[in-house]
Amino acid sequence: MDIWFVIAQILATTGWFFLILSYYKEDIHKLLRMQIFACAFETASYVFLGAFAGIFACLLDLVKAILYYKTDKSNVVFVATLPFYVVLAYFSVVSEGPIALLPAIGGIIDGFVLTRNKTVATVGSIIASTLWIIYDFIVLAYAAALYDSILVISNFFVLFLGYSRILHINKLHVIKCHYLTRSIAHNILSLDKSNYAPQYLWTLDEQRAMFKLEPDSIILIRDKKRTVGYLNYITITEEAYEKIRRAHTFYKTIPEEFIAPLRRRRKNYMLIESVCINKSYESQKMADFISHRFNLYIRNKHKQGYNFHGVISVAISDFEKDFLETAHFAHIKDYRDKEALYELDDIAIAKYNKDNA
């Protein structure tokens, strides 16, 4: 057996190990880092097999993924990368023959379906992966073909069941918002307008100003690629926590001096400012989903040495009340305009961390 063939299979296996691992990463930087490793190993495997089309298609797919997550604009990314796939298709046919068209066509299909709804995106991913499987078998990239086969099976689970236990993929997922793009800001404003009365709304400028003070404070809730909700939180000082708790009216905007960074081995406090969901997605199942993700976040931070001694929130909508009660927050009081103050105190947090240790 050719030594280069064996090395190629080992590299491809390592690559799809990193790729599968990336599906478990909620932090976008960690996810992309894993996918860069995966792409590097997979590209190297095609180098050892002498598969020109596979090499450059992998690199283009990585660039496409990075651009999508940086801009959150699938239409723009598709249009921007399409000419490169066309060029790749031409040179691939010239150098390797018609079969080398498959990776380029797969990349074009994958980019196009991301601009459509979740069902079309899943079906398109199945077709694109099938084209890659055919190409992989022809160029002897058997390990890569195995991974693509698993991906096809996983997408069938997503398509028919809404969840894949194979790759831990759920239609609903959360990601941290590291870049407050214009598209994301307008999505958030649109969600706010459909859930809150005018006196509770933030302007786009207020959104951006708060995001600059507290980066990574927005958690996006997505159904595939569509943003269907968000959770906005900030870490605050103990003094600010007590002021909010004792106040007779709630704070619409949070003073800059209230904000404090997370610190290890110190008391940390959090204010959940809003939990806003598209009306068609509001349900107890959604409240359970967000509650689970929130509790997981608190538990993970505890393991990392960031100890929360209190989380507080003012519920404006009925869904916010459902979420907070599902997450075991205690109802403290109601304000004059029916807003409700909820608290998860240090005893409740300690009990939760102990129960899930």
Instruction: Give the model's pLDDT for residue 239.
Output: 93
- Split into its structural domains, the chain has a count of 2
- The reply to whether 53 and 147 lie within a common domain is yes
- The reply to whether 165 and 213 lie within a common domain is no
Instruction: Give the model's pLDDT for residue 166.
Output: 43
Using pLDDT thresholds of 50, 70 and 90, give the confidence band for residue 169. very low
Among 121, 150, 170, give the residue marking a domain's end. 170
- The reply to whether 157 and 106 lie within a common domain is yes
Among 170, 189, 223, give the residue marking a domain's end. 170
- The reply to whether 147 and 253 lie within a common domain is no
Instruction: Give the model's pLDDT for residue 115.
Output: 64
> Amino acid identity of 350?
A
Segment 231-253 mean pLDDT = 88
Segment 94-111 mean pLDDT = 84
Taking only the tens place, the pLDDT of each residue in 43-53 is: 888 888 888 88
- The reply to whether 181 and 157 lie within a common domain is no
- The reply to whether 126 and 54 lie within a common domain is yes
- Domain range for 205 is 173-355
- The reply to whether 290 and 166 lie within a common domain is no
- The reply to whether 14 and 131 lie within a common domain is yes
Task: Kindly write down the DSSP assignment for every residue of 198-235, as one continuous string.
Answer: GGGPPPHHHHHHHHHHSTT-EEEEEETTEEEEEEEEEE
pTM score: 0.57
- The reply to whether 236 and 163 lie within a common domain is no
279 or 342, which is more confident: 342
Strand intervals (E) in the chain: 163-164, 169-170, 172-176, 218-223, 226-236, 267-277, 307-315, 330-334, 340-345
Instruction: Give the model's pLDDT for residue 314.
Output: 92
Answer positive or negative: Cα dihedral of 297, 303, 305, 310.
Answer: positive
- CB count within 10 Å of CB 95 equals 10
At 353, phi and psi to the nearest 5?
Answer: -65, -35
Taking only the tens place, the pLDDT of each residue in 251-309 is: 777 888 899 888 887 889 999 999 999 888 888 888 888 998 888 888 888 888 888 99
Please answer whether residues 323 and 310 qualify as being in contact, where contact means their C-beta atoms are separated by less than 8 angstroms. Answer: no
Among 147, 170, 193, give the residue marking a domain's end. 170
- Count of positions (residues) in the chain: 357
- The reply to whether 266 and 351 lie within a common domain is yes
- The reply to whether 185 and 304 lie within a common domain is yes
Answer positive or negative: Cα dihedral of 47, 100, 70, 158.
Answer: negative
- The reply to whether 96 and 181 lie within a common domain is no
Distance CA 275, CA 264 (A): 26
Map residue 253 onto helix, strand or coil. Answer: coil
Distance CA 67, CA 244 (A): 40
